[in-house]
Amino acid sequence: MLDLVTVRATSNVLVGRQSELAALREAYKRVRGDEPAAVLLGGEAGVGKSRLIEEFGRQVVADGGRLLVGQCLELGEEGLPFAPFAAALREVLRRDGPGPFQGYEPELARLLPELARVPAASADPTPVPVRGMAQIAPDVQRGYLFELVGELFARLAAQRPLVLVIEDLHWADRSTRDLVAFLVRAVRPAGVLLICSYRSDELHRGHPLRPFLAELDRARGLERVELNRLDREGTAEILADLIGAEPHPRAVDSIHDRTQGNPFFVEELAAASDPVGCAALPDTLRDLLLARVDRLPDAAQRVLRIAGAGGTRIAHDLLAEVAEVPPVELEEALRAAVAAQLVIADPDGGYEFRHALVREAVHDDLLPGEHARLHARYAVAIEAQPQLVAAGRAPAELAHHWYAAHDYPRALVAARAAAAAAGARFAYAEQSRLLERALELWEQVPDAAARLGLDHLGLLAETLAAAHAAGDYHRAVTLTRAALAEVDADAEPLRTAELLEQRGRLMRLLGKNSGLDELRRAYRLAAGVPDGPRRVQLLAQIGSCLSWSEPAEGLRIADEALAAAERLGDPETLLAATLLRGKIRSCRVEVTEGLAELRRAEQLARAADDLPSLVSARVSISDALFELGRYAESAQAAADGAADAMRVGLSRSTGAFLFSNQAEALMALGRWDEADTLCAEAARLDLPGSLGLHWLQLRAALRLARGHPGAAELVRRALGFLGRPYLDGQLRVPLHELRIEAGLAGDDLAGAVAAAYAALDVRAGAVDTDGEVPAAPGAAADGLDENPRCGWPLLAAAARAAVAAGEQPLRDRIRSVAATLPARHPAAKAHAQVVTALLADPAEALPHWRAAVTAWRADGQPYPLARALLGLAEASAAAGDRPAAGTAVDEATAVAAGLGATPLVEQAATLARRIGLRGVRRDGANGELLTAREREVLALVAEGYSNSRIADRLYISPKTASVHVTRIIAKLGVGNRVEAAAVARRLGLLDG
């Protein structure tokens, strides 16, 4: 949200210009090799040409080069001749004095008048005699002057490479263009890179720069670089820099759509600080946009206003129908707008405003009566001839234009018709917006029910369904409340039950309450209704929702629904019941049995061509396959489901987990870059409530494992969900794990231990950010026994914290919980082996680490395998098997490096140093990490001796003892004496 932060006026980051910057660097590289080079840098106003040149110039200066910049003035042919070159020469005079001019100040004073007041100072003691300029013919004078300029730049470049920038060449006078052409085509001074920037949107058909650029294109060594608008990610990067925080996805979408990726416009709208992309144009920006419109002939301005009411893109025939002007007059007006670079002619026979903000400014400038009249004319034209707009767009266009014309009865009917058309093509967000408008208009149209053929409750129900499908759950909750206030439960028990079920499910998803009261009321109402498809499908939904908190009750109701569906024999009902019962069984009973039912539901959905149900099935199928360790199949199922979800507009609702499910499977397969990209796609969906947690938790964990600088912010956002009540254990447990891992990664051992205690001592469903609610002794905390897939990774993280801190009570608690937690599938079994190895006595840990490594090899996940290999290396070193330790460290390092897991690579290097592997400085004659004396000192440190007691015991001075301790801590890569003692015990450095 942009209104809660301070927004800078301009961005400090260069976004999305890597290839263009590389092109400038390559040209500079050629110049340094004495090759001629020149660059023409084009792009529309505000696209970032100056920002790119500024960044490149900084690099040139840092590299030891010289940068001179001159700017053309907005005075055209009547402007000051040679203005940019005068600015460049002025900079030379200011920095270097008259020396570089070598006595030619009088001649060069034609470019820079102040040179006439500078005493000549030739660097050459015997300068070549030169005739006075007045004695030379005008054309020869010009050529001679140009040669002097070229020679001056060549002299400067002989000292160090020179970059000469001429900005805004579209404003250049004729003399400036001629001198640029001379430098590019005739002189081509060695060591000089000439960069000329210009606005491509200023080059109308008769602009003098057009033929000039075409002529320069034939010059050897000249390169054209065009700056295009930014994509959505570029817009988001600029916004993040401006506001100093990650922008809301809706703000990014709004600003990107309106600015079309023009960086200057992005900065202007962001500075307006509107919550979701600035509702109104800032006055300064509106004036700037309208300035070019005001220069058009009156007829062209009128046609442009009419076109602005039609939208950013408009067909010629529609514009002609509405404009009601003779064809020749219309064409002349459009020709002027196209020549002014305000409108682009579409090859398909229409026109498009070059900038959406120009259209917005023109449209906002309409008078109130003119605004209503134009939109009414558009509506009448489209009603009479729907083919005047793109296929399928007529309903939405009519809804828009009748509403803008303030004809509310027609707008109401058109909005509902357009909503139906949007729903038919799965555009649920558009459908929801149109139905919201219909609700808004209901009170303003007295005979609304008669016009629409349904009552207000029916319209509410339609709007609720669309909002739910679009993933706008907050709005859907509000609509359920409004609908329940109108419905008569006695007259319509099933309808009431459906609304209660929806409300209960939404309240749980948004963390507002458990939803149990609504779900139980819904079940009681449905129980008194005769069997029928709607009732059975409702029962299945109720059972699925209840299973979150009451698995046994949820499964009982799901079984009831399936039995009723089989009695009815209705295919759609059987599909719904089978699907939801399969979900419950895969999550709460046995994943293999649940998967079989889900596969059956998948077949039924395919046979019925029911894509929404197919998407729903694939969410659970991908989840079940992951738990079974079939990661490639899980990723494929999620990818297939995501494609279907996008086709039917369910990416922000049912299909929301598919992106993160696929990302999770790809992470397990070691394809971390792909997983991160998918998480970014999920982020752009701006998923509501807890639907946005899974991808966030995954990306936070991934970036934490990679040591990414943005990890801390993602971890903070993810852990914010721990403060929300009614969060399902399948989502809550991984957050506890993330909290522990974040503490370990940040060297916050106390925080990691506290997080582990909180995770293991909090009852399911409690608000547990502080970990103050104790569980029954020996019980699996927070529903871990119901979520072994999530529980085992949590226990492994907690065990790492316990071992690092030497926390025996925490170890005991972990053992107690582990004893109640089943380990049925590959990953769970591997994590169980890791927990056993971590908690084992160091002298007995080696076989357990070997078993853990074997288990992870069977499962196939590379990252936990690498971590287990480091555990095996430590245990092998402690047992005196250095070759085995070295092999394990090598493999762990290779795996971690391949993943980009930099912290794990560093841990492997630290371990290698501790146990004296290759590449590490060794002090002992036998190649050991520690000398014999350092081992003696370390043994006493482990006993708790102070430096003075160590000195007394070993007959050395306290200062010498302190030096030994310092060296030991450095060699072991630890932070203090306690950690040194713990590492020494684990690695067996005190043995013998």
In the prediction, which pLDDT does 145 show?
87
Q: Where are the alpha helices (DSSP H) in 136-248?
A: 138-159, 174-181, 209-216, 232-243
pLDDT-derived band at 129, boundaries 50, 70, 90: very low
Mean pLDDT of the 443-467 span: 94
In the prediction, which pLDDT does 667 show?
96
In the prediction, which pLDDT does 782 show?
45
**What are the pLDDT digits (tens) for 314-361?**
999 999 999 989 999 999 999 999 888 889 888 778 898 888 888 888
pLDDT-derived band at 274, boundaries 50, 70, 90: low
Greater pLDDT, 811 or 926 = 811
d(CA 745, CA 914): 19
Q: What residues does 37 pair with on adjacent strands?
A: 193
In the prediction, which pLDDT does 792 show?
94
In the prediction, which pLDDT does 273 show?
55
**What are the pLDDT digits (tens) for 60-112?**
999 899 999 998 887 655 556 888 999 999 999 989 888 898 888 888 888 88
CA distances to 428, 711, 735, 756, 792 from 753, rounded to whole Å, are: 46, 20, 15, 5, 17
Q: Which pair of structure tokens corresponds to residue 132?
A: 């006075």
Q: Which pair of structure tokens corresponds to residue 631?
A: 């990661």
Question: Is the separation of the CB atoms in 186 and 192 below 8 Å?
Answer: no
pLDDT-derived band at 781, boundaries 50, 70, 90: very low
Greater pLDDT, 975 or 235 = 235
Q: Which pair of structure tokens corresponds to residue 976?
A: 């203090």
Summary mean pLDDT of the chain: 85
Percent of the chain with pLDDT over 70: 90
Length of the chain in terms of residues written: 992
In the prediction, which pLDDT does 599 show?
92
**What are the pLDDT digits (tens) for 796-827?**
999 999 999 999 999 999 999 999 898 989 99
Mean pLDDT of the 523-539 span: 91
What residues have CB less than 8 Å from 239, skipping those under 6 apart? 2, 247, 251, 252, 255, 266, 270
Question: Is the separation of the CB atoms in 5 and 212 below 8 Å?
Answer: no
Instruction: Please tell me whether residue 198 adopts helix, strand or coil conformation.
Output: strand
Residue 474 has pLDDT above 60, yes or no: yes
Instruction: Please tell me whether residue 224 adopts helix, strand or coil conformation.
Output: strand
Which own/partner contact pairs does 748-751 have at CB distance under 8 Å and 24+ positions apart? 749/801, 749/804, 749/805, 750/805
Residue whose token pair is 């033929």: 211
Q: What residues does 71 pair with on adjacent strands?
A: 167
Give the number of other Cβ atoms within 10 Å of residue 115's Cβ: 21
Mean pLDDT of the 954-966 span: 81
Instruction: Please tell me whether residue 52 adopts helix, strand or coil conformation.
Output: helix
Greater pLDDT, 649 or 893 = 893
In the prediction, which pLDDT does 118 show?
64
In the prediction, which pLDDT does 285 show?
80
**Which residue type sits at 571?**
P
**What are the pLDDT digits (tens) for 365-396?**
999 899 999 999 999 999 999 999 888 889 99
pLDDT-derived band at 874, boundaries 50, 70, 90: very high
Q: Which pair of structure tokens corresponds to residue 974?
A: 């630890």
* Strands ordered across the beta sheet of 192-199: 66-71, 162-167, 192-199, 37-43, 222-226
Residue 622 has pLDDT above 70, yes or no: yes
Pick from 425, 426, 153, 404: nearest CA to 415: 404
Question: Is the separation of the CB atoms in 419 and 403 below 8 Å?
Answer: no
Question: What phi, psi does 664 have (nearest 5°)?
Answer: -60, -40
Q: What residues does 343 pair with on adjacent strands?
A: 353
Least confident range from 154-168, 280-294, 854-868: namely: 280-294
Cα-Cα-Cα-Cα torsion 475, 520, 732, 616, nearest 10 degrees, comes to -70
Helix axes 846-859, 862-878, angle to 10 degrees: 160
In the prediction, which pLDDT does 547 show?
81
**What are the pLDDT digits (tens) for 889-918?**
999 999 999 999 999 999 998 888 877 775
Residue 483 has pLDDT above 60, yes or no: yes
CA distances to 75, 76, 168, 742 from 82, rounded to whole Å, are: 12, 12, 13, 61
pLDDT-derived band at 768, boundaries 50, 70, 90: very low
Q: Where are the alpha helices (DSSP H) in 840-957?
A: 846-859, 862-878, 882-899, 902-914, 932-942, 947-954
In the prediction, which pLDDT does 843 show?
87
In the prediction, which pLDDT does 197 show?
94
pLDDT-derived band at 3, boundaries 50, 70, 90: very low
Question: Is the separation of the CB atoms in 752 and 743 below 8 Å?
Answer: yes
